[in-house]
C-alpha cells in the first residue's frame, strides 16, 4: 500500500467531524438558500460524513486566517481578533441565542472601526472575486457579513481574501444594508416557527447533492438522528430575554427538557 493511502485511511478513521453539530443558525450559513438546511442546523441534526481531503481544506482555511491577521498587524493595522473578556473569538447572538455569529475580528482603518472577515480561496474563486466583486462572486459571504454587521452595529465590513495558490491578497469594503438584514430576520423567524421549506422537491437537485445534510433530509431513517426534544417537531425555540437557547414543548405547554413518549421527528415542509 502506498504511504499516501495509509495516511488517507488513517485520516478517514480518526479525523471526521470531531465535535457535535452546531445547534443554532450561524452567520456562515445564513446565505444558504434552503430554509430546511437552516432548520436542521438550528436543531442540531447530524451532518453527513465528509472525506479527509475536505476536512484538511477546512483546517487549512482556519490556519490561513491566522496568517492574514498576523500580516495585517505587521502592516501597522490595528486588528482585534479576540474578545478581551473571553479570550476567544468575538461572538454575537440574537433570538435567545438561537442565532450566533463568530467574527474573525475588528479592524481600525482610518478612524473607523470595521467588522473584519477573512477568507481563503483557490485561484479560480479568488480571480472571480477580484474581477466581479464579492457580491457577484460569493453572495453567501456578503450575507454572512450583513448579518454580523446588523447584530454588531457595524456600518461597514473589511472583507479580505487570500489566494491559496499564489498567496496574493485582495480586499473590498461591504456596506451594511438594513433591508437585507431585515429579510434575513424574516427568514430566521420563518425557520423558528417550524415553517422552513425544502429548497427542492427532489434529492437529485444539484443543491441537495452538494449539501452536508442530504442524508438527514432525504434519508432520515439511515441518519443517526438523536431522539431529543430539539429534534422533535413538537418543540419550538424560545425567543425571549434570559432564555438562552431554550426550547418549548407545544404538546405539554412547558419547557422542553426531557423526551417523552410523544416524540415525533422534525421534518421541514415539502416543496410543492
pTM for this prediction = 0.90
- pLDDT for position 87: 87
**Residues 87-133: tens digit of each pLDDT:** 899 999 999 999 999 999 999 999 999 999 999 999 999 999 999 99
For residue 220, count other CB atoms closer than 10 A to its CB.
14
What sign has the CA pseudo-torsion 218, 224, 228, 230? negative
- pLDDT for position 1: 58
149 three-class SS? helix
116 three-class SS? strand
DSSP state of 26: E
Name the strands in the sheet holding 25-26, side by side, starting at the edge strand that comes first in the sequence: 25-26, 99-103, 90-94
Distance CA 18, CA 167 (A): 29
Query: E-assigned strands of the chain?
Result: 25-26, 78-80, 90-94, 99-103, 105-109, 112-121, 156-163, 169-175, 235-237, 247-249, 254-255
Render each residue's pLDDT in the chain as its tens digit; 272 residues: 566 665 666 565 555 555 577 899 999 999 999 999 999 999 999 988 877 778 788 888 889 999 999 999 999 999 999 998 888 999 999 999 999 999 999 999 999 999 999 999 999 999 999 999 999 999 999 999 999 999 999 999 999 999 999 999 999 999 999 999 999 999 999 999 999 999 999 999 999 999 999 999 999 888 888 899 999 999 999 988 777 889 999 998 999 988 788 899 999 999 87
- pLDDT for position 4: 65
Query: Which one, of 100, 98, 35, lies nearest residue 230 by Cα?
Result: 98
- pLDDT for position 53: 79
Spans of all domains in the chain: 24-197+204-225, 227-267
Distance CA 119, CA 160 (A): 6
CATH architecture of 24-197+204-225: Alpha-Beta Complex (3.90)
For residue 202, count other CB atoms closer than 10 A to its CB.
9
- pLDDT for position 124: 98
Distance CA 268, CA 265 (A): 10
Distance CA 125, CA 101 (A): 24
Amino acid at each position: 500500500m502506498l504511504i499516501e493511502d495509509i495516511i488517507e485511511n488513517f485520516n478517514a478513521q480518526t479525523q471526521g467531524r470531531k465535535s457535535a453539530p452546531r445547534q443554532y443558525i450561524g452567520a456562515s450559513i445564513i446565505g444558504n438558500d434552503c430554509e430546511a438546511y437552516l432548520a436542521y442546523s438550528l436543531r442540531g441534526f447530524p451532518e453527513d460524513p465528509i472525506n479527509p481531503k475536505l476536512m484538511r481544506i477546512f483546517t487549512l482555511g482556519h490556519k490561513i486566517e491566522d496568517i492574514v491577521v498576523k500580516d495585517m498587524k505587521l502592516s501597522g493595522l490595528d486588528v482585534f481578533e479576540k474578545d478581551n473578556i473571553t479570550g476567544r473569538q468575538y461572538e454575537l447572538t440574537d433570538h435567545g441565542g438561537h442565532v450566533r455569529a463568530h467574527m474573525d475580528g475588528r479592524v481600525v482603518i482610518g478612524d473607523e472601526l470595521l467588522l473584519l472577515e477573512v477568507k481563503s480561496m483557490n485561484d479560480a474563486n479568488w480571480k472571480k472575486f477580484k474581477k466581479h466583486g464579492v457580491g457577484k462572486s460569493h453572495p453567501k459571504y456578503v450575507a454572512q457579513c450583513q448579518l454580523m454587521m446588523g447584530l454588531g452595529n457595524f456600518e461597514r465590513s473589511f472583507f479580505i481574501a487570500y489566494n491559496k495558490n499564489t498567496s496574493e491578497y485582495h480586499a473590498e469594503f461591504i456596506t451594511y444594508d438594513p433591508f437585507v438584514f431585515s429579510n434575513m430576520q424574516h427568514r430566521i423567524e420563518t425557520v423558528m416557527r417550524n415553517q422552513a421549506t425544502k429548497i427542492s422537491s427532489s434529492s437529485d437537485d444539484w443543491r441537495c447533492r452538494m449539501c452536508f445534510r442530504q442524508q438527514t433530509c432525504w434519508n432520515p431513517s439511515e441518519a443517526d438522528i438523536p431522539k431529543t426534544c430539539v429534534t422533535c417537531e413538537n418543540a419550538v425555540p424560545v425567543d425571549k430575554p434570559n432564555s438562552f437557547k431554550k426550547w418549548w414543548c407545544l404538546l405539554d405547554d412547558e419547557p422542553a427538557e426531557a423526551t417523552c413518549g410523544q416524540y415525533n421527528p422534525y421534518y421541514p415542509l415539502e416543496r410543492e
